[in-house]
Amino acid sequence: MNILVVGGGGREHAIIKKLKEDNRAKKIFALPGNGGIAADAACLGGSATDIPAAVAAAKKCAADFVVVAPDDPLVLGMVDALEAEGFACFGPRKNAAIIEGSKAFSKDLMRKYGIPTAAYETFHELEAALAYVETCPLPAVVKADGLALGKGVLICETREAARAAVRSMMEDRAFGDSGATVVIEEFLTGPEVSVLSFTDGETVVPMASSMDHKRALDNDQGLNTGGMGTVAPNPYYTEKIAAECMEKIFLPTIRAMKAEGRPFKGCLYFGLMLTPEGPKVIEYNCRFGDPETQVVLPLLESSLLEIMLAVSEGRLAETEVRFSERSACCVILASEGYPQKYDKGFVITLPETGTDEQIYIAGAVEKDGKLLTNGGRVLGAVAVAETLPNAVDRAYALADRIHFENAFCRRDIGRRALRALEEQ
Ligand code: AMP
Ligand code: GLY
């Protein structure tokens, strides 16, 4: 089969490497791909959000199957456009991707179907939002309705901060049209868990759970980032909690989307908070997480290609999805200064990887046979081991064998998870 994967980050590198394990994956193309992905797929360059270009690429590559990985092309309707031209795809259509594309939509869905989430109000008018902020409980969580590169959530301890957040989104349009509508919600507490799931619209199969580390610096200090590292499984996510989530969150969400005439096919990501009152949904994403995918897919023992085909053809219930009992850790090496200003163009030296080690490249270009840094998050060093402590040690040992000028990483990825394990 010829397979086209849309996207060009570490997540897509992990997806491509896993797809390649199936002998049926004859040729893999990436749009745009990156300098590191080029070792595993033919990279086409261009933009992941250019829908006509994706359709043209699928035709040119004679793609038998297309995987659309990032949120923006999904929300824009890339799968609809590809399907209209007869291409089989993995990824939700536009009317289902809205579960990530509009927080107002997803909050209303949860309210209507009784799915546990933070209490909230939605505002389309600046004056009404400002009036609400004068009386709402604090801290208040102010969220831009639309996609905002993971930055559209502001936790406000004071009314003044909440007023400023509302103004920056609705008046100054700090996140463009994504902030035309805002959701203001109750602040929840508890450990966070990411659960990615496969679903064909009828059946939902959760993958191994994971824990992201969103802040740039150790001890959860510094700015929010796309994610500085991950571990899987997440020790807070016990079997009991998993069963509760299946009954109260996962199945009700899949059924709700179907009932709304928006069946969700693809990877649905549940961002959960384990609050004192039980698990609640913090956010839905219509796609694989980055860098969650980099720790979850190495634990998948079944064929990713077979599962993705089954999702696309609506036969997930009959398909084997088996995860290893082992643990994985991903340490992101980023460019100093990320998530703000940083320099790029430094030579990356990569070591040989051993068994149970992977390096997934996110921000790099190839030039004259050399791999150069080209982004904030440059790569992920991943190790799989029998236990979580060993996976963490091995991921750091691998990260320390990778070199480029300007590199930085958090030194505490997995620390909170290890503490939770000790407390059990
Ligand atoms: P989101 O983009 O919705 O995932 O939000 C980004 C991050 O903000 C989450 O991973 C949480 O750490 C935090 N967050 C979002 N909503 C809430 C909430 N209602 N209470 C506490 N923290 C939140
Ligand atoms: N790592 C968080 C996300 O992919 O949204």
266-275/65-68 β-pairing: unpaired
Copy the structure tokens of residue 263. 């069946």
DSSP state for residue 351 in the 8-state scheme: P
Q: Is 234 helix (H, G, I), strand (E, B) or coil?
A: coil
Residue nearest to atom 1 of ligand 2 (CA): 290
Q: Ligand 2 center to residue 271 CA distance, Å?
A: 9
Q: Which helix (H) or strand (E) holds 415?
A: helix 415-423
Cβ 138 under 6 angstroms from ligand 1: no
Cβ 141 under 6 angstroms from ligand 1: yes
| pLDDT of res. 150 | 73
Distance CA 234, CA 126 (A): 39
- Residues whose CB is less than 8 angstroms from the CB of residue 320 and which lie 6 or more positions away in sequence, other chains included: 302, 306
Angle between helices 251-259 and 103-113 (to 10 degrees): 100
Atom of ligand 1 nearest to the CA of 282: 16
CA of residue 307 relative to chain centroid, distance: 18
Q: Ligand 2 center to residue 227 CA distance, Å?
A: 7
Q: Ligand 2 center to residue 175 CA distance, Å?
A: 18
Question: Angle at the Cα of 324 (from 24 to 2), degrees rounded to 5?
Answer: 15
- Residues whose CB is less than 8 angstroms from the CB of residue 16 and which lie 6 or more positions away in sequence, other chains included: 5, 28, 30, 37, 40, 41
Q: Ligand 1 center to residue 11 CA distance, Å?
A: 21
Cβ 282 under 6 angstroms from ligand 1: yes
| pLDDT of res. 50 | 97
- List pocket residues of ligand 2, CB cut-off 6 Å: 150, 212, 227, 285, 289-290, 292
| pLDDT of res. 149 | 79
| pLDDT of res. 152 | 87
Q: Ligand 1 center to residue 153 CA distance, Å?
A: 7
Q: Ligand 1 center to residue 423 CA distance, Å?
A: 25
Q: Ligand 2 center to residue 270 CA distance, Å?
A: 10
Residue nearest to atom 3 of ligand 2 (CA): 289
- Residues whose CB is less than 8 angstroms from the CB of residue 386 and which lie 6 or more positions away in sequence, other chains included: 326, 327
Give the ligand with the smallest distance to the CA of 272.
1
| pLDDT of res. 315 | 98
Strand partners, 183: 122, 143
Q: Is 166 helix (H, G, I), strand (E, B) or coil?
A: helix
Q: Per-residue confidence of the chain (424 residues) as pLDDT tens digits?
A: 999 999 999 999 999 999 999 999 999 999 999 999 999 999 999 999 999 999 999 999 999 999 999 999 999 999 999 999 999 999 999 999 999 999 999 999 999 999 999 999 999 999 999 999 999 999 999 999 999 877 789 999 999 999 999 999 999 898 988 889 999 999 999 999 999 999 999 999 999 999 999 999 999 999 889 899 999 999 999 999 999 999 999 999 999 999 999 999 999 999 999 999 999 999 999 999 999 999 999 999 999 999 999 999 999 999 999 999 999 999 999 999 999 999 999 999 999 999 999 999 999 999 999 999 999 999 999 999 999 999 999 999 999 999 999 999 999 999 999 999 998 8
Distance CA 121, CA 32 (A): 38
Atom of ligand 1 nearest to the CA of 103: 3
| pLDDT of res. 81 | 98
Atom of ligand 2 nearest to the CA of 230: 1
Strand partners, 122: 183
Q: Ligand 1 center to residue 185 CA distance, Å?
A: 10
Cβ 100 under 6 angstroms from ligand 1: no
Give the DSSP per-residue string, 3-21. EEEEE-SHHHHHHHHHHTT
Atom of ligand 2 nearest to the CA of 291: 1
